[in-house]
Structures are given as structure tokens and as C-alpha cells.
């Protein structure tokens, strides 16, 4: 990743079709657009690719989570369970609905621990969001079985795992809804943008209407502005230019995953020189989207020492205990309840905290993350990059 590494004539031609039509808006303007509906075409292609019944394009992966949560009726007073290792967008979307995020431990898949999930379910639990973090499968079959026993819908956060599969089935199709991100560093990218997929027509229709101010999109004599609305919504629409780029990138996705697998295998072999190294558990290596290589050292001290040598050698890896975007104990704004709202909403109401998060609440996750390092896997890996990374890992093996 990311997909801009293979931008070429295909993306250019798709975008030029939009520019030639002069219509950037995904709806209406039928007379001017010359039959060009790129977002609609992208939705249909993505649904067909994943095997989902329906796809709804939106403005970002974060928006996809918010749209899915709202379509499922999540709101104030509800709890939504997710994992303590994820990008901040997962729990930001939960809070933005007025609900409270509840965090589970991760296991050696670096994804939601189903055993801890079972412990965190309460009568207030309205949805569960496992994350296929760093491109590899969560224990989604176990998670879905637990959720089904409790009658709770599952939203799969598949932001980092487009093209990933489990036993041949696309990630994002196991739950009620799957959400994807196409931002600038994703394997397939539209710069910004996201997608929701589902096989539930009612849920899709709710998402379709919510992301466009609640408009029902029923054809009417007056054109846009004459639609009806069953409920209030917001604006999370995708632009035609994004849809155009998405079509070109989607056509390349499987080949990008193949390239990433080859480069990941190289990196894994190179990292094998580290004393005591082990690797993240991958439930289905064949279905891995191979966007990241993640490896563990025996303890935190060795991970810190190795990370420093790699940085000094120009081949730095992410040491998760230092990362502020993805790791629960480092989300200082969440832990402190910081918000622009004078009342403290959504973490407080009129000055009274609704929930208080303890930085030490996920000790099993901390024990894993403290000793975990990750390389982002490029689609295109030069010989110079391979040589530099191999030499850095060899140097790190001597610390």
C-alpha cells in the first residue's frame, strides 16, 4: 500500500470522462452528464467484487462508520464495543452518534479478542465493531456467533483490508455491514472516500438516504429538491472524481494484493534474523491483504532497542507503544475527555462525565503491543529499499 504507487493512464482516463461531462456531483444533471455516473458505477462494481448485495459510497472511511451506525439506529444511551487497537476514527464515529465506545482486548491476531468481547456485552450494547486491523482477518466468525447469540448487529471495520478474505469470503460481508476507507494511504485509494456494503436492502436504503440529507432519491417531476424524507440525515456524499478513480483502482486491487504478498514475504524473511522474533497470527494467509508485516520481539526493551536501530538505519518500523493514532493508552484526548463542546459532550453532559477511561484498562493488549513492530508493505518495492531494509534488520539483530 498505497494504491497511488500504481496510478496511471487508467485513472487519468476515468477522471477525464468526468471532467468532460462537467458534472462533479453524483446526482441529477442528467442532460449535461452524458450518461456518466461514476459513483453509481463504482458502487455496483464494488458490490459485485465483494459479493455484497449493495454498496453505498461515502466521503471517507470515517463517514462510512458513522453512516452504518446511524442506519442501525445507534444513538445516545447506547454502547458500541470495538477494540483498543484501531485508528481513532472507529471510536470517533461511535461518539459522534452520541453512543459510548467500549474497548476490548486484542489477541495475537492484533484484532478483537472474542473471549473479552463476551465479557464486555451489556444490556446497553447496540453494535459490535471488530476491526480487520493492518489488513488481516479478525476472528469474525467467532465474533459474529457471539453477536448473534445476543441479537447484536456487527459492523466490520475493513478500512485497512480491502481485498482481504477469510476462507474465500470477502472481509466486510460477514456482519450486517462492512465499511471501507479509500484515503490517501490505503491499498486502493481515491484520495478521500469510503464505502459501506451490506446484503440487507432496508439497511442499504437507510444508508443511501442518510448520507444525502435524508433524501429518498425517488424520481420526481421537479428534479432535485422534490424528494421526500423519512428521517433527518447529513452530507457524506462521494464526488464523481473519487468514484472515477475508485473504478480504476478497484480493477487493480487484486494485482496490488499479489504484489504486496510478494513484498511481505521478502520483509518477513528479512525480519527472521532478529533473535526471538515471532509473527502476528494470520488466520488465513491466502486471504491476507498483506498491507503490513507485523512482528513481535521477546520484550518491550528489545523492541525499543530494535526500533531505534531501524530508525537510525533509515528503515524505521512503527513501535505501537509510541504511536498516538492507533493505540488505546496513547489516546490522550479520549482519556482526558477533551472536546470543543462547552458542555463536554459527547464524553460529558453539562460538565458530568458519562464515561471515564483508564489507560491501564487493557493489560493483555499492552503486553502484546509493547513488543510489537510493524512495516507498511509497499505495492512497489525497489531493490534499494530491499537492500536498505535487510541491512537495517541485520544491524538490529546484533543489539
Catalytically active residues are 186
CB atoms within 10 A of CB 223: 12
Grid look-up 539483530 returns 397
Q: What is d(CA 160, CA 291) in angstroms, rounded to the nearest whole number?
A: 8
β-bridge pairing 194-198 and 165-166: unpaired
Per DSSP, helices labelled H in 22-60 are 30-33, 38-50
Per the structure block, which three cell numbers stand in for 266?
Answer: 521478502
Q: What is d(CA 181, CA 135) in angstroms, rounded to the nearest whole number?
A: 12
Q: What is d(CA 256, CA 264) in angstroms, rounded to the nearest whole number?
A: 12
Q: What is d(CA 235, CA 211) in angstroms, rounded to the nearest whole number?
A: 5
Answer yes or no: are the C-beta atoms of 8 and 193 closer than 8 Å.
no
CB atoms within 10 A of CB 88: 15
Whole-number Cα distances in Å, 357 to 233, 256, 333, 354: 30, 39, 11, 10
Q: What is d(CA 399, CA 274) in angstroms, rounded to the nearest whole number?
A: 9
Residue 328 CA, chain-centre distance (Å), reads 16
Q: Is 342 helix (H, G, I), strand (E, B) or coil?
A: coil
Amino acid at each position: 500500500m498505497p494504491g497511488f504507487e500504481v496510478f496511471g493512464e487508467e485513472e487519468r482516463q476515468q477522471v477525464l470522462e468526468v471532467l468532460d461531462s462537467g458534472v462533479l456531483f453524483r446526482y441529477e444533471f442528467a442532460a449535461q452528464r452524458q450518461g456518466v455516473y461514476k459513483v453509481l458505477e463504482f458502487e455496483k462494481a464494488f458490490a459485485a467484487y465483494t459479493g455484497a448485495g449493495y454498496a453505498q459510497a461515502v466521503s471517507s472511511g470515517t463517514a462510512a462508520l458513522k453512516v452504518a451506525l446511524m442506519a442501525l439506529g445507534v444513538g445516545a444511551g447506547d454502547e458500541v464495543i470495538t477494540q483498543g487497537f484501531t485508528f481513532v476514527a472507529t471510536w470517533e464515529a461511535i461518539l459522534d452518534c452520541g453512543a459510548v465506545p467500549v474497548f476490548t482486548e486484542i489477541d495475537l491476531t492484533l484484532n478483537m479478542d472474542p473471549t473479552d468481547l463476551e465479557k464486555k456485552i451489556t444490556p446497553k450494547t447496540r453494535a459490535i465493531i471488530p476491526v480487520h486491523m493492518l489488513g488481516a482477518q479478525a476472528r469474525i466468525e467467532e465474533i459474529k456467533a457471539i453477536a448473534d447469540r445476543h441479537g447484536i448487529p456487527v459492523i466490520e471495520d475493513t478500512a485497512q483490508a480491502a481485498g482481504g478474505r477469510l476462507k474465500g469470503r470477502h472481509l466486510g460481508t460477514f456482519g450486517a455491514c462492512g465499511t471501507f476507507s479509500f484515503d490517501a494511504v490505503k491499498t486502493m485509494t481515491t484520495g478521500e472516500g469510503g464505502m459501506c456494503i451490506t446484503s440487507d436492502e432496508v439497511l442499504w436504503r437507510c444508508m443511501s438516504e442518510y448520507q444525502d440529507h435524508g433524501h429518498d432519491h425517488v424520481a420526481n417531476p421537479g428534479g432535485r429538491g422534490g424528494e421526500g424524507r423519512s428521517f433527518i440525515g447529513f452530507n457524506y456524499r462521494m464526488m464523481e472524481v473519487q468514484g472515477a478513480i475508485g473504478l480504476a483502482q478497484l480493477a487493480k486491487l487484486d494485482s496490488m494484493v499479489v504484489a504486496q504478498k510478494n513484498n511481505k514475504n521478502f520483509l518477513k524473511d528479512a525480519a527472521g534474523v532478529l533473535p526471538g522474533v515471532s509473527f502476528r497470527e494470520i488466520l488465513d494467509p491466502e486471504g491476507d491483504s498483506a498491507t503490513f508485516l507485523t512482528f513481535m520481539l521477546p520484550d518491550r526493551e528489545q523492541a525499543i532497542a530494535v526500533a531505534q536501530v531501524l530508525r537510525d538505519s533509515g528503515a524505521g518500523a512503527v513501535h505501537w507503544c509510541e504511536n498516538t493514532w492507533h493505540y488505546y493508552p496513547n489516546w490522550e484526548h479520549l482519556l482526558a475527555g477533551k472536546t470543543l463542546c462547552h458542555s463536554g459532550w459527547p464524553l460529558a453532559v453539562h460538565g458530568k462525565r458519562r464515561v471515564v477511561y483508564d489507560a491501564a484498562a487493557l493489560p493483555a493488549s499492552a503486553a502484546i503491543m509493547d513488543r510489537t513492530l510493524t512495516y507498511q508493505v509497499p505495492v512497489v518495492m525497489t531493490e534499494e529499499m530491499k537492500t536498505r531494509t535487510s541491512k537495517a534488520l541485520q544491524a538490529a539483530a546484533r543489539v
